[in-house]
Structure 1
Amino acid sequence: MTHTHFRARYAETDAMGVVHHATYPVWFEMGRSDFMREAGVPYTEVEARGYYLMLSGLNVRYRSAARYDDQLVLSTRVSEVRSRTCIILYELRRGEELLATGETQHVCTDKAYRPARMPADLLTALSG
C-alpha cells in the first residue's frame, strides 16, 4: 500500500471552496503513479517497454467533501491482478475522516491497443 500526502489546491475547488467531483479520479491517478514507482515499475518504464495499463472502469464513492487547503492522504493498493487485468483501490482521508473511496480497473495492452499479457516482473510487482 502506498500513501500519498498532499493538499487540495484552490484550482481544484468550486466557488464554495469544495473540491470538484471530477478531481478525485485525477488524484487516483497520482496515487497509482506513486504506487507503481514504489513497487519498482514506474509507469514511464511500462510504456517504454511497449505496454499500457488502460483504464477500463472507474468508480468513486463520495462520503464527505474535501475543501481547499485540506491536508489529505490517499491510500492506494492493488486488490486483484490477473494476466491481463488489475483492479486498484483508493481511500482518501482528511486525518481519520474517510472522504472518498474508489476503484479503477485496468487492462494491459500493447502499443496497438490490443490486449496483452503483463510482463512477469509487472505481475509480480503489482501482486506485492
Structure 2
Amino acid sequence: MKIVSTKIAVRYAETDQMGVVHHSNYVVWFEVGRTEFIKELGFSYAEMERDGILSPVIDLQVSYKQPTTYGEEVSIHTWVEEYDGIRVKYGYEVKNKAGQLCVTGNSVHVCVKKDNFRPISIRKTLPHWHEAYEKIKKK
C-alpha cells in the first residue's frame, strides 16, 4: 500500500481563541494530502479538470482524537483505502510531530463530466489513473 506524507505548519488563522485547530481545517488538510498523493502518482487534478472531468466528494468521515495547536507541525498521511473503477475512497491520518494520532478520516470521490455532472468510469475514461489505483489500493 502506498502512503504519502505531507507536512503542514499549523497557521494562526486555522485556530480558535484557544489556539486549537478548528475542526473544519482538517477537511482542507485532507484535500492537501490527497492532492499531493495524486501528484506523487504522476497525475494532476488541475489537468484532469482542464480535460473536463471533476472529482466531487460524495462522502466524508472525520474522527477527532487529539487537538492540534498553533505552532505545531503535523503530517497528513494519505492512501487509497478502496477503489472499484468508479469510486475512490482515500484514507487519512493526521499526526503531530511526536507521532501521536490526532485525526483520522476518509473521503469518497467519483469522477463526473464537468458540463453535465454525469458520473464516468475511471477505468474507461482515465485508464492510466485506473492502472495506478489498482496497483496501490489497500489489499
Normalised by the length of structure 1, the TM-score is: 0.96
Q: Percent identity?
A: 36
Matched pairs, number: 128
Distance 1:125 1:39 in 2: 7
Q: Aligned-pair distance for 1:105?
A: 0.4
Deviation of residue 125 (structure 1)?
2.4
Q: Choose the corresponding residue for 1:86, options 71, 85, 88.
A: 88
C-alpha distance in 2 between matches for 1:70 and 1:125: 33
* Correspondent of 1:97 among 72, 79, 100: 100
Equivalent residues in 2 for 1:1-128, closer than 5 Å: 1-94=3-96, 95-111=98-114, 112-118=116-122, 119-127=126-134, 128=136
**Matched residue type, 1:102:** G
Q: Distance in 1 between matches of 2:133 and 2:13?
A: 32
Q: Distance in 2 between matches of 1:125 and 1:51?
A: 18
User: What is the Cα-based RMSD across aligned positions, in Å?
Assistant: 0.9
- Listed as ranges, the gaps of 5+ residues in structure 1 are none
Answer whether contact 1:39 1:126 (CA < 8 A) is retained: no
Unaligned runs of 5+ in 2: none
| Local SS of the residue matching 2:30 | helix
